[in-house]
Structure 1
Amino acid sequence: MRNKGETPKTMKALVAYDKDRYVFEHEYPAPECGSDDIIIKTEACGICAGDLKCNHGAAMFWGDEVQPSWVKPPFIPGHEFFGHIVEIGENVEGYELGDRIIADQIVPCGKCRFCKDGHYWMCQPHNIFGFQKENNGGMAEYVRYPQTAVISRVPDTMSIEDALLIEPYGCSKHAVDRGNITNEDVVVISGAGTLGLGMVTYSRMKNPKKLIVLDMVDERLEKAKEFGADIVWNPGKVNVVKEIETLTEGYGCDVYIEATGHPSSVIQGLSMIRKLGRFVEFSVFGAPTTVDWSIIGDRKELDILGSHLSPYAFPFIIENIENKKLGTKGVVSRKFKIEEWEKAFEYATGKHGDFKVALVF
């Protein structure tokens, strides 16, 4: 038998029993290692906006009279995590104890039509780490990676702060790739949070004609400028639609990437994008957004492109964080111990000026 290493029987973990009951447990059952599994000891776990919305009871997670519940409690939250291997199943090859690894947030089934044709990030069952009890997340000392997890290696030389950006920057890369940016494009990125900043620094590598970033918080715009934006505007202070029209001789921007999750940003984008432009929608919204669809069809014939997760992105992101081609400085602004999860969640809202907040172990 090749079951190497050993995981303790219990661990510290944040457990979601219900939308109104998140509990820090000192001795929660640790994951057991099956013959096809890998167990890691968690090094750190970032807190995503999705984690906050789930904690606040959003219907997209817990269901309502229209949609069924997607989460399966009790579960351990967290999908932006990484760590070192402490136990390896007997059938697993190619990994050793102590290897530092990370996995895509989705756990593909490997059997549905999307998995079979290479679109694993759209897996029909759609189980993601940190939302179902079968795939517990990284807000715990130990996590089980099942056989179908999409694993990437994390260099031992990479700082915790940089490694925490692999997952969000992977999502940023996929969104930017959906926009097919060229060096002739005027690109607008709306939103300069962690994901928006990842889009800025990756878009810079594509050398667009102009890279413009919008945000209501001036401090975030300063960071966007540092990460490669040519122009930054605060829509609360500047008529950004008119500014874009002036800049582009009345045509509008070529690519608009929406990364705020606010309905006003969608309407703003449809107003400032040129005819035959490419509109990339990345965000998760807290409420439905109403727009004039005649803009999309009859008036501008736009390409409307969705963006979901981070397929095939981690190796590129890891390499280019390591070689400093992607900016990361100052994005992870605060770290907390798991026992301080409530305070960490509060800071993760951004109300204190933070970009990315994480739990460390």
Structure 2
Amino acid sequence: MQKSVYYDKNHFEMQPIGNLDINSDEVLIKMKVCGLCGTDIHKAVDKTVEPPITLGHEIAGEVIAAGDDVMDFNVGDRVFVAHHVPCFTCTYCKRGHYSLCPQFKMTNVDPGGFSEYIRVPALHVKHTMGKLPDELSDEAGAMVEPLACCLHGFEQISINPGDQVLILGAGQIGCLQIQLANHFLAEQVIVSDVNPYRLEKAKEVGATHVIRADEEAVQEQVNRLTDGHGADIVIISAGISFLLEQAMHCVARGGTVLVFAPFTKNDIPIPAYRFFEDEISIVGAYSSTPYNYTPALELLKKGVIDVDKMVTHRFPLSKLNEAITLAHDTTKEVLKVLIVPDGSR
């Protein structure tokens, strides 16, 4: 039993997992698929976590042991599981801000998603783990958590049928958001990026129009495509600081900007007059909540989200660093990367 341990940029080591004995209210699963998230890439490349650590949280697996007090899961069940659990009782939780709960980031699966076997603590068994139906693949199961994150973001923006939607960034999250925007009956879903391959993938999953951001003026194209109205909803899905300023120039009067990616700069110039004169809003969304997993699962079951069109690469656990290097290179033809025990490109 091995896990991939992060020590530094370009430095991962395969190591024995060690003792994963479970308590009576816990579950042990065998990892079948773990998606490579943009935050995993950010942590590994920018060294924002304290090593040694096992990353990974978009998990699908099979139950191989269940404690005597676990009633809802049995050995052999195919499951998904997410990594953080709120307390449900603090000030933030009572206001519906579950991902801001002090307990949220303190909880995690053991040792992490990029491991052959994973101990699922009792809180996770109760609140963030669910069974995968027969009609969904393990790869689809690994998409429950990132899709739930997108649903949490959409809760903040109140998209209406007929809205003009602009998504800045055609990566894995942007392509999930394209499909959700169409599901919620947007009139147009406009997507910008600098990677032509990702823009093609964006069209495959339902983008109405795409903009090559390094060759075209995004604001001019948005104005042209919306007859000067602008985008009612602008979603920032790439962690590039200047996109906030760009979003502020593209959003329509009365519109909303959703910040769905971390920025590397704190000082970003924006046209602040628009808050008062145009009644625009800027909101943020971090991670997901336990209440987003069931809707995410149903959307996958009903085929609203096309996982097959998104997955471009599969790597074995031992090649995690190679997977991250590829996924981080914005010039490559890559979208969604999955880590599987016996994976291959």
1:37 maps to amino acid: E
2:113 maps to amino acid: G
Structure 1 residues 238, 24: CA separation in 2 closer, same or farther (over 3 Å shift)?
Answer: same
Partner of 1:37: 26
Match of 2:327 among 338, 348, 351: 348
Contact 2:20 2:119 in 1 (8 A): yes
Partner of 1:80: 58
Residue 280 of structure 1, CA deviation: 0.5
Partner of 2:243: 265
1:144 maps to amino acid: R
RMSD between superposed Cα atoms in Å: 2.3
Moved over 6 A (4+): none
Match of 2:45 among 53, 56, 71: 56
Contact 1:139 1:338 in 2 (8 A): yes
Q: Give, in whole Å, the separation in 2 of the partners of 1:270 and 1:252.
A: 10
Match of 2:121 among 141, 146, 155: 146
Please give the secondary structure, in 2, of the residue aligned with 1:148: helix
Q: Give, in whole Å, the separation in 2 of the partners of 1:118 and 1:95.
A: 28
Q: Give, in whole Å, the separation in 1 of the partners of 2:107 and 2:32.
A: 16
Residue 38 of structure 1, CA deviation: 1.2
Q: Does 1:16 align with 2:6?
A: yes
Q: Give, in whole Å, the separation in 1 of the partners of 2:97 and 2:26.
A: 23
Partner of 2:133: 155
Partner of 1:3: none
Partner of 1:297: 275
1:148 maps to amino acid: L
1:235 maps to amino acid: A
Q: Give, in whole Å, the separation in 2 of the partners of 1:98 and 1:117.
A: 38
Residue 18 of structure 1, CA deviation: 6.1
Q: Which runs of 5+ in 1 are unaligned?
A: 1-10, 63-70
Q: Give, in whole Å, the separation in 2 of the partners of 1:307 and 1:191.
A: 16
Q: Give, in whole Å, the separation in 2 of the partners of 1:140 and 1:252.
A: 45
Structure 1 residues 33, 123: CA separation in 2 closer, same or farther (over 3 Å shift)?
Answer: same
Please give the secondary structure, in 1, of the residue aligned with 2:122: coil
Structure 1 residues 104, 122: CA separation in 2 closer, same or farther (over 3 Å shift)?
Answer: farther
Q: Give, in whole Å, the separation in 1 of the partners of 2:24 and 2:219.
A: 57
Contact 1:79 1:128 in 2 (8 A): no
Q: Give, in whole Å, the separation in 2 of the partners of 1:271 and 1:342.
A: 38
Structure 1 residues 116, 152: CA separation in 2 closer, same or farther (over 3 Å shift)?
Answer: farther
Q: Give, in whole Å, the separation in 1 of the partners of 2:332 and 2:197.
A: 12
Match of 1:330 among 288, 306, 309: 309
Partner of 1:339: 318
Contact 1:282 1:306 in 2 (8 A): yes
Contact 2:237 2:261 in 1 (8 A): yes
Q: Give, in whole Å, the separation in 2 of the partners of 1:195 and 1:145.
A: 26
Residue 243 of structure 1, CA deviation: 2.3
1:219 maps to amino acid: Y
107-116 or 200-209: bigger deviation: 107-116
Matches within 5 A, 1:223-242: 223-242=201-220
Residue 110 of structure 1, CA deviation: 4.8
Contact 1:200 1:224 in 2 (8 A): yes
| TM-score (normalised: structure 1) | 0.85
Residue 19 of structure 1, CA deviation: 6.7
1:180 maps to amino acid: S
Partner of 1:317: 296
Total equivalences in the alignment? 336
Residue 143 of structure 1, CA deviation: 1.0
Residue 118 of structure 1, CA deviation: 5.2
Please give the secondary structure, in 1, of the residue aligned with 2:105: coil
Structure 1 residues 235, 299: CA separation in 2 closer, same or farther (over 3 Å shift)?
Answer: farther
Residue 30 of structure 1, CA deviation: 3.8
Q: Give, in whole Å, the separation in 1 of the partners of 2:226 and 2:9.
A: 47
Q: Give, in whole Å, the separation in 2 of the partners of 1:272 and 1:355.
A: 25
